[in-house]
Amino acid sequence: MPADSAKPRSEFAVTLQIIPVVFFTFLCYLTIGIPLAVLPGYVHDDLGYSAVIAGLAISVQYFATLASRPLAGRSADTLGPKKTVTIGLIGCGVSGVLLLLAVLLGRWPVLSLSLLVLSRLVLGFGESLCGTGAILWGIGRVGTTNNARVISWNGIATYGALAIGAPLGVAIAHNVGFFALGVVVIALAALGFYLTRPIAAVPVVHGERMSYGSVFTRVLPHGIGLALGSAGFGSIATFVTLFYAAKHWPNAALSLTVFGTLFIGARLLFANTIKTYGGFRVAIASFSFECVGLLLLWLAPEPHVALAGAALTGFGFALVFPALGVEAVGLVPPASRGAALSAYSVFLDLSLGITGPLAGYIAGEFGYGSVFLFAAVAAAAAVALSTMLYLRSSRTPNAPAAA
């Protein structure tokens, strides 16, 4: 029986259906977060390459994620979400094997770096399939009326795993050695693969399938809004520590902690507002909070004002992805939901890839504070875009949805 036709369930019962599948996203992003903080140092200090090469070796994963988004969408729509997650976890495990080999062959820097880059490419492939598949698997279990809740919990799993993985990876490398990172990644992927077995697959949705190009065009406005809003997250993640250092303020890491805490708190407490008020209205409010938070960071005369800005930015950014994502998925036939999610997610990858170098140029020309002004302007543009989309949807509420 389709999830949508089942009798109504309590929010707690729905959450219990979602958590087992987004747990695979958590494991996937643990395999990403654990090596993330220590690999640049390994490439630079142990292999002897420049900081630029070290950065590129890590960033290549994001290009692989971006390139494999269409494949992830097609796989979720045609093979089914469970198989897609399973393939993604296998990719994560293979990346761990390659990482282990890269460290064991560290006496040959060129070979070691090549294996490391290949590991990052495979990991990007695994990330794309696992993340997209887990969302579609969750939606298949609880129904499309709970799209926002599934996407929100998947995001909590993502950012929670990255927050835990980075310090865990540092501790493992320091106390055991770099080789242990590969072993842990392999073990986590194997655990995920084993745990998928007892969880029932959801049926593949049959019916009209749009071409990926058509899906991409349809979700393009929503994706642009996501990209504009993600500039704030990218700016804080990359430049807030340098901003604090330029101001000679202590405890820069506290601003990241506050950002993450408010992000997760908002997703836990307010995810249901999307179902109540609609994605566009929640997006407008979210972008507005984010814009105000970024302006506070830009103007902050003291650290506590900067903390308030980081908190507001995290609170505002929290519901951006699910709010616009729900509206984007509603524009395509059910059989093309995976393609819509993957096409929509492309804009997050693009934004985070572009924000770094662009914000770096702005910081070099105008100072680190100007980075947050740039992100605030982007958030303000996202408010305007979301308002336009909301007004358009109000005039034609049933077009061109195909649920």
> What does the pLDDT look like over 214-262, one tens digit per residue?
888 999 999 999 999 988 888 887 778 778 888 888 887 788 788 888 9
Structure tokens at 50: 């420049």
Rounded to whole angstroms, the Cα distance separating 395 from 260 reads 37
| Architecture of the domain delimited by 3-196 | Up-down Bundle (1.20)
Binned at pLDDT 50, 70 and 90, residue 92 comes out as very high
Query: Are the beta carbons of 180 and 172 closer than 8 angstroms?
Result: yes
pLDDT at residue 87, as a whole number: 95
Burial of 7 (0-12, 13-18, 19+ CB in 10 A): exposed
Rounded to whole angstroms, the Cα distance separating 42 from 102 reads 11
pTM of the entire structure?
0.77
Domain segments of the chain as ranges: 3-196, 212-395
Helix (H) or strand (E) holding 27: helix 11-36
Helix (H) or strand (E) holding 310: helix 303-317
pLDDT at residue 9, as a whole number: 65
pLDDT at residue 259, as a whole number: 87
Residue partners of 50: CB distance under 8 A and separation at least 6:
44
Binned at pLDDT 50, 70 and 90, residue 397 comes out as low
pLDDT at residue 403, as a whole number: 36
> What does the pLDDT look like over 10-29, one tens digit per residue?
777 888 899 999 999 999 98
Rounded to whole angstroms, the Cα distance separating 309 from 332 reads 37
Count of alpha carbons within 13 angstroms of residue 2, beta-carbon side: 9
Of the ranges 111-120, 208-217, 222-231, which one carries the lowest mean pLDDT score? 208-217
Rounded to whole angstroms, the Cα distance separating 280 from 389 reads 7
Between the CA of residue 23 and those of 19, 33, 138, 237, what are the distances in Å? 6, 15, 11, 24
Superfamily covering domain 212-395: MFS general substrate transporter like domains (1.20.1250.20)
Rounded to whole angstroms, the Cα distance separating 313 from 290 reads 4
Query: Are the beta carbons of 318 and 266 closer than 8 angstroms?
Result: yes
Q: Between residues 257 and 391, which one has the greater pLDDT?
A: 391
Domains 3-196 and 212-395 equal at CATH topology level: yes
- Which residue is associated with the tokens 């349809």? 218
Chain CA centroid to CA 329, Å: 17
Burial of 206 (0-12, 13-18, 19+ CB in 10 A): exposed
